[in-house]
């Protein structure tokens, strides 16, 4: 008969220590991962709004006509040309909301637009929210998370406009 010269495997104590260390790592990682997912959801909605507004401006220039963005609180926002819907934007993605005080925004054929400002936030979390503005020149600016200007010195103080 042959004897095994070395023992193989884990003891129960080694296995328990490994499981405790793994549980500690999971307890630390889960809240951070949840926060990362929420931040990405808000940023995705802000990027989608910017892309939608850029599309509206480019359509106005391509058609050399006025394109109107009609903003409603209870329905998707509509992009219209001569009262015909071109595209719509879902201003709410779950708990993330895009808000504005403007009732409509007009993009003209020369690229200019009516001024408007938007916030994209989850609830009242202005630290993770985004501020977006349309200038009279038609330029669309999306500022850094939690900021309200290009220099980053003014914090976004309110998620409602």
What is the per-residue pLDDT across 14-57, written as a single tens digit (0 to 9) for each? 999 999 999 999 999 888 888 899 899 999 999 999 999 999 99
More confident residue, 1 or 23: 23
The answer to whether the CB of 126 falls within 8 A of the CB of 159 is yes
Question: Hey, what domains does the chain have and what are their CATH numbers?
Answer: 12-142 (3.55.40.10)
The answer to whether the CB of 101 falls within 8 A of the CB of 111 is no
pLDDT tens column, 67-117: 999 998 778 999 999 989 999 998 888 889 999 999 999 999 999 999 999
Q: What local confidence, expressed as pLDDT, does residue 10 receive?
A: 83
Helix (H) or strand (E) holding 135: none
Closest CA to 93 of 116, 122, 117: 122
Structure pTM?
0.82
pLDDT band of residue 8 (cuts 50, 70, 90) is confident
Does position 5 have pLDDT exceeding 70, yes or no?
Answer: no
Q: What local confidence, expressed as pLDDT, does residue 78 receive?
A: 93
Strand order in the sheet with 84-89: 84-89, 77-81, 67-70, 104-107
């Amino acid at each position: 008969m042959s004897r095994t010269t070395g023992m193989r495997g884990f003891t129960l104590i080694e296995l328990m220590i490994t499981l405790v260390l793994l549980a500690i790592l999971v307890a630390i990682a889960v809240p951070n991962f949840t926060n990362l997912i929420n931040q990405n959801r808000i940023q995705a909605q802000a990027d989608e709004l910017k892309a939608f507004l850029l599309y509206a401006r480019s359509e106005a220039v391509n058609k050399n006509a006025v394109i109107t963005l009609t903003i409603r609180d209870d329905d998707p926002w509509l992009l219209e040309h001569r009262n015909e819907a071109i595209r719509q934007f879902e201003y709410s993605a779950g708990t993330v909301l895009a808000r504005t005080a403007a009732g409509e925004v007009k993009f003209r054929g020369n690229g200019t637009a009516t001024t408007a400002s938007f916030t994209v936030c989850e609830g009242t979390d202005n630290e993770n929210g985004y501020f977006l503005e349309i200038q009279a020149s038609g330029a669309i600016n999306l500022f850094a998370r939690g900021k309200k200007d290009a220099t980053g010195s003014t914090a976004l103080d309110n998620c409602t406009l």
